[in-house]
Amino acid sequence: MLAVATANVNGVRAAVRRGMGNWLDGARPDILAVQEVRAPGSVLTEALPGWALAHEVCEIPGRAGVAVATKGEVSGVRAGLGLVEAHQTGRWIEADVVISGLSEPLTVVSAYVPVGELDSPKQAAKYAFLDAMTKRMGELAVGGGYAIVCGDINVAHREADLRNWRGNIAKRGFLLEERAYIDTWVGEQGWTDVGRVLAGAVDGPYTWWSWRGKAFDNDAGWRIDCQFATPGIAALAQSAHVDRAPSYAERWSDHAPLVVTYG
């Protein structure tokens, strides 16, 4: 059995202070994909002692940052999507992890899609990133191997993926143009949205709630943290759960980890 977790930590320093270490001790994932590290490698190594790390730091200090952490052997690492703008760095890292029982290494990606902003260059940057991400996912899918793209996608795919979908129909994160990228991934490219498939036709389970107001208490969230798997590894998915904190006070991020067990 292989437990793969993805979590936007909303700043690894703050997450550690709030109790991320206690969560790791209890969850014990074999592979952990993290987003919004917002720290140099030395800080991440201190936060995750004993893990093999593949990390892409954002060129803008204190922003973004993605990593894949594993207890296993890493046979290859690739960073970035070829985008040169500083704010588009620290958002894509690939690690080839040697997994017992698989005929070839498992490529695990940690991705952090830009939030975007309507009528702004930030939205154009989001689409540029999604274009590059889609191209790379197509390459990984065509390869026919084992791959899982984990991360904070910053797009809710369907109405079931956010509580207040009617109020967000024309807002960033739920635009038809954004959602069409996920249609491509799970349609023509053949990726499986593992969390959705295993959850079935239910609302959520949500993975992000605003720090403000009563969003968390009322479960008024978004399902934007995902694991997309190629057919060979998707067929091995056994269970998935969102590790939602018991209470607002016990949250160590504004996101909750998505943990999928493959075996």
At 144, is the pLDDT very low, low, confident or very high (cuts 50, 70, 90)?
confident
Contacts with 211 (C-beta within 8 Å, 6 or more apart), sequence order: 254
The pLDDT tens digits of the residues spanning 168-220 come to 999 999 999 999 999 999 999 999 999 999 999 999 999 999 999 999 999 99
Give the 3-state secondary structure of residue 32.
strand
Helix (H) or strand (E) holding 185: helix 176-186
At 145, is the pLDDT very low, low, confident or very high (cuts 50, 70, 90)?
very high
How far, in Å, CA of 182 to CA of 153, rounded?
A: 9
The pLDDT tens digits of the residues spanning 29-77 come to 999 999 999 999 999 999 999 999 999 999 999 999 999 999 999 999 9
Percent share of the chain, pLDDT over 70: 100
Q: For the chain, what is the mean pLDDT? A: 97
Give yes or no for residue 25 having a pLDDT over 90: yes
The fold of the 2-262 domain, in CATH, is Deoxyribonuclease I; Chain A (3.60.10)
Q: Could you tell me whether strands 237-242 and 192-193 are parallel, antiparallel, or unpaired per DSSP bridges? A: unpaired
Give yes or no for residue 105 having a pLDDT over 90: yes
How far, in Å, CA of 188 to CA of 66, rounded?
A: 27
Give yes or no for residue 254 having a pLDDT over 90: yes
What's residue 175's pLDDT?
98
Give yes or no for residue 166 having a pLDDT over 90: yes
How far, in Å, CA of 59 to CA of 118, rounded?
A: 24
What's residue 143's pLDDT?
83
Among residues 99, 106, 101, 188, the alpha carbon closest in space to that of 147 is found at: 106
For the chain, the domains span: 2-262
Whether the CB-CB separation of 141 and 134 falls below 8 Å is answered with no
How far, in Å, CA of 96 to CA of 73, rounded?
A: 8
Percent share of the chain, pLDDT over 90: 98
